[in-house]
Structure 1
């Protein structure tokens, strides 16, 4: 189930949906139950574009002297009233005292009415029960980045080029606009020009440049050997990292 409040008011449909998931609990608990680890989608980053659903796996590891019985719920909450209720958690024992409870969340930008303001730091909320009736609740058991997907292009000219001559590399940086469901210019961001020799599998950074206010990229470099040129954007708190496809240049 996926819901998002729009503005400060709660619509009737939202209110009905909210009744279907456990209400958020204040941090607390009873006994020695403790959360030891929270992982969202493997690397604590969730990147969403403008089309195609994304399934996110959330895992919460907890321990108690008596062992873990189950998880009442696992949910995700973020900026601009962002909220996702996960599937019914399943818990698997790691040992006699520790279990990892997992849940999945389906995010679909075409039906979830995401706002661009939803991007940023999100938190995992959960309730974990132990076998001896101990329990723990946490509104911020762990955090992760909920990011807008980005796209990057690169084109090196002329092709082919004489050794020692100047190459011009152009491109553009755009990112998902969740409200229009299109990609729009992402300006004034730092981007790296990178190069990989034809015989190598690794890129090295040639220089860093900044995109224009409209996301345009343009820089020059000297051609030395055959290889691939690309731009690479490291990402930030609201936007995912991305690298363009390498453009091969034949050096004569």
Structure 2
């Protein structure tokens, strides 16, 4: 696993290095690598103005930066408003829709105009963490000055860019860059001719660590009226080890449905113990399925075990 940079300890400009596509999938990302690298370069220059430094000129006295692009964002909706649940090793693709507004003289159809959503944790402009998409968004004009857009945010849990402490509240933002014919890879690249709009503060669903539940009801079969022991385990994703670890002290509901029914009913609520262990007992009455379900918390996603069938004799 690659070691995650402690983004909070560096400036907003330096933190942009995290926008580079992680090495494990850079080779097959194609244009994603170029897109993220170019975005990082332009945003670093834009934010260097605040510190009076420039990454593109030898003279520290000359601060070169992109100009403010007259583009605004609104109606940013991340993941249809649902929590963003990220597993221990998964590549999670988060859909986003947004509205882009611009003057008529800004050509959003230009081949070198890009826009896209991202989410960040902490302070806008000096975030503790940011997650972008591998590709820019796509926009469909709805008038001469507005467009309806959509894009994705790509989160790679096993690349070391999420710490467990990143679970919880995030915010959303929109970014637009007009290169105006400038090539960021060229020695003649003139950053002052590039326009950038970067707008944050939008609502985003929480980013949560994925949870998992197991269940095992014994004995099977069982005599009617006898005791059934229902065991299981609650775990959650550890983004730093890329494994699932036991989660203790959480309320979990035992549910049951008759074999003749399609609906589960709550039986009792118990708490997970050390290592996420679950265990309780019930009296056998009829054939059916037992399962555990967990509602989740702000930092951990909900989960439900697959029902375990018990044949009652």
Residue in structure 2 matched with residue 132 of structure 1 by the alignment: none
CA shift at 1:249, angstroms?
0.3
Residue in structure 1 matched with residue 202 of structure 2 by the alignment: 141
Q: Looking at secondary structure, tell me which structure has more helix per residue.
A: 2
- Map Cα deviations across residues 33-74 of structure 1 (whole Å, 9 max, x no partner): 772x332223432111122312211112467998x9757432
- Map Cα deviations across residues 79-110 of structure 1 (whole Å, 9 max, x no partner): 58121123312123568886431111221122
**Residues 192 and 233 in structure 1, CA contact (< 8 A), matched pair in contact too:** yes
Distance 1:97 1:69 in 2: 10
Q: Partner of 1:231: helix, strand, or coil?
A: strand
Residue in structure 1 matched with residue 172 of structure 2 by the alignment: 124
- Map Cα deviations across residues 138-160 of structure 1 (whole Å, 9 max, x no partner): 41222111111111111111111
Distance 1:185 1:62 in 2: 43
Q: Looking at secondary structure, tell me which structure has more strand per residue.
A: 1
**Residues 21 and 85 in structure 1, CA contact (< 8 A), matched pair in contact too:** no
Matches within 5 A, 1:71-82: 72-78=115-121, 81-82=128-129
Matches within 5 A, 1:142-161: 142-161=203-222
Residue in structure 2 matched with residue 20 of structure 1 by the alignment: 41
Q: Partner of 1:160: helix, strand, or coil?
A: coil
Q: In structure 1, list runs of 5 or more residues that go unmatched.
A: 130-135
Choose the corresponding residue for 2:267, options 193, 200, 206. 206
CA shift at 1:119, angstroms?
0.7
Normalising by structure 1, we get a TM-score of 0.80
**Residues 81 and 204 in structure 2, CA contact (< 8 A), matched pair in contact too:** no
Residue in structure 1 matched with residue 10 of structure 2 by the alignment: 10
Q: In structure 2, list runs of 5 or more residues that go unmatched.
A: 20-39, 48-68, 109-113, 178-196
Normalising by structure 2, we get a TM-score of 0.65
Matches within 5 A, 1:22-61: 22=43, 35=74, 37-61=75-99
Q: Larger C-alpha radius of gyration, 1 or 2? A: 2
Superposition RMSD on alpha carbons, in Å? 3.4
